[in-house]
Structure 1
């Protein structure tokens, strides 16, 4: 009598396939794997269920998730199995809203204090993303909790998730979070990015208020967000901030933000600084180097260099724009 294959062997055979003609062929092996209590086995099976789009195993995926969220949590302390299940359910277009909510509320081994490590942070992030995708009616309520999460990466994910909702209420939450000035610059940056995606015209003047912050990190986070917005109203805010700065480092960083705007008025402003040949010419040249592949900008910068008749600026131009200096 032929010896039955082990679950591990069955999964290995599935993993070796680039495609599957009939997903029914995978149902049995995947169900057997998902019934195990091995975190690595569940992760492999969930990944395969997603790859071959085996919708029949959705209940088995949810059962496995429940196990590792409950009494089996200790055997999945990195949450790898639970994360794999969530990703699989998303790939299968499952509406596992309750499962995603429970994952967003999971901490391991316990809710950490600020700065402490948390093994479940990635799980909360992928669950927040999944819940946003299915449009849960109570999504904002759960994302508010994650905006106060002790792990910065989770707060970033919550802010970006709010930006993808398209809801007016999300704008208000993001403004409040930004005004609280999170200790992590990445969280403030995510709030600005989300606000710009929701309502750029209203977000630009709001973000501009942070350009007068005493904290240099906060100021530059706002400046870079405005630059990346490429919004027409951002240039006046950035140039006004640039004029207020007294240190060369701050002035240089702001010119980089202005270069990010990319539109003609911003480039014209930077070229005018090179043309002036004054203290900020070198910093403006550094910011303009982003456009080295643009022949029109390159020509305008080169003409400005010619007008300055400054050999040091000429050498800097050749180096930054990666050109071979003339002998």
Structure 2
């Protein structure tokens, strides 16, 4: 039988177990698929095992993971199966480090048009979470290496895993990373968020310093991170920064960051801008507060301020936001 037909047959087998995956017959079928050589089918079976929380199939998943680590480009192109297996074991709170350590260190270079591409990035990320979830003693060593990974998504995953760990041992790693810098803005954003979660009082001033960066994108990332922190001390920092910047996009980002703080003083500041500020600032404040359109009381205050001001441009801006909402 041709390979494509055999794969289709295997995938059809999976279709027969989805309605009742924990039955004896379904578990036998899942075990059969997991032991097959078709990585796409194995990936789907692993997801079913995770969704149904079938712990009895964990040993089978581990054995297959190890098999796909042999000539991995040939046996599991694009890391589909290895990723899904690791993800399932993480969701099932698997408590042995062997598989997660292999996964977080695995690099799988595959040929693509014009060169080669690492397809194991997501695998490294989920294995980082797996090691954090099982409280692996040397997890920060592994996360330090991942934070220096050549692939930006892996560095992002490292920062998220450090935040998820709630372990302040990760703070020096994150501080060093942001001091050195990263060419990928999303990495800095995740590092800022992790620092503000793990060590808020120590990190506000550090991140506030990036509001003076010569790169506008970094200023915006720092402002939004401070806003999402919901720390009261961030309000005055963001307000002062907004007042001294002249760049229109940054001023809009600053008001959004203030809105994200979500506490009364910050929201009243934005409402005051709508009522009395310059037209451009008032429009930006309306846009910033539009994230609260589902908050009936607050949004009524916005609408009332616009109505009382009676400025056609602001009324039009509000009308357009209502359409988008």
- More displaced 10-residue stretch of structure 1: 284-293 or 240-249: 284-293
Tell me the equivalent position of 1:204.
Answer: 204
Q: Does 1:100 align with 2:80?
A: no
Tell me the equivalent position of 1:8.
Answer: 10
1:75-90 superposed matches below 5 A: 75-90=75-90
> How far 1:79 sits from its partner (Å)?
0.7
Q: Is the 8 A contact 2:292 2:299 kept in 1?
A: yes
Number of residues of Structure 1 aligned to a counterpart in Structure 2: 313
What per-residue deviation string (whole Å, max 9, x for no partner) do you get for residues 13-57 of structure 1? 6524334345xx455444443333222343244334334444333
Tell me the equivalent position of 1:124.
Answer: 124
3-state SS of paired residue (2:183): coil
Tell me the equivalent position of 1:184.
Answer: 184
1:1-327 superposed matches below 5 A: 8=10, 11-12=13-14, 14-22=16-24, 25-26=25-26, 28-109=28-109, 117-278=117-278, 279-305=280-306, 308-321=309-322
- More displaced 10-residue stretch of structure 1: 7-16 or 180-189: 7-16
| Alpha-carbon distance in 2 for matches of 1:305, 1:183 | 41
| Alpha-carbon distance in 2 for matches of 1:272, 1:43 | 54
Larger radius of gyration: 1
- More displaced 10-residue stretch of structure 1: 258-267 or 312-321: 312-321
User: CA, structure 1 residues 68+232, in 2 after alignment: closer, same or farther (shift >3 Å)?
Assistant: same
Q: Is the 8 A contact 1:82 1:123 kept in 2?
A: yes
| Alpha-carbon distance in 2 for matches of 1:65, 1:298 | 52
What per-residue deviation string (whole Å, max 9, x for no partner) do you get for residues 52-87 of structure 1? 444333332222111211234422121111112212
Q: Is the 8 A contact 1:26 1:54 kept in 2?
A: no
3-state SS of paired residue (1:60): helix
| Alpha-carbon distance in 2 for matches of 1:133, 1:208 | 31
User: CA, structure 1 residues 57+237, in 2 after alignment: closer, same or farther (shift >3 Å)?
Assistant: same
> How far 1:156 sits from its partner (Å)?
0.6
3-state SS of paired residue (1:203): helix
| Alpha-carbon distance in 1 for matches of 2:305, 2:12 | 69
Q: Is the 8 A contact 1:163 1:198 kept in 2?
A: yes
Tell me the equivalent position of 1:3.
Answer: none
TM-score, normalization by structure 2: 0.85
Structure with the largest fraction of helix: 2
- More displaced 10-residue stretch of structure 1: 295-304 or 37-46: 295-304
| Alpha-carbon distance in 1 for matches of 2:65, 2:308 | 68
| Alpha-carbon distance in 2 for matches of 1:42, 1:309 | 63
TM-score, normalization by structure 1: 0.84
3-state SS of paired residue (2:266): helix
> How far 1:261 sits from its partner (Å)?
1.3
What per-residue deviation string (whole Å, max 9, x for no partner) do you get for residues 72-115 of structure 1? 442212111111221232344322311111111111127xxxx9
User: CA, structure 1 residues 92+160, in 2 after alignment: closer, same or farther (shift >3 Å)?
Assistant: closer
3-state SS of paired residue (1:286): helix
| Alpha-carbon distance in 2 for matches of 1:262, 1:201 | 18
Give me the CA root mean square deviation.
Answer: 2.9
| Alpha-carbon distance in 1 for matches of 2:61, 2:11 | 20
| Alpha-carbon distance in 2 for matches of 1:140, 1:32 | 37
Q: Is the 8 A contact 1:10 1:29 kept in 2?
A: no
| Alpha-carbon distance in 1 for matches of 2:310, 2:93 | 63
Structure 1: segments with no counterpart, 5+ residues: 1-5
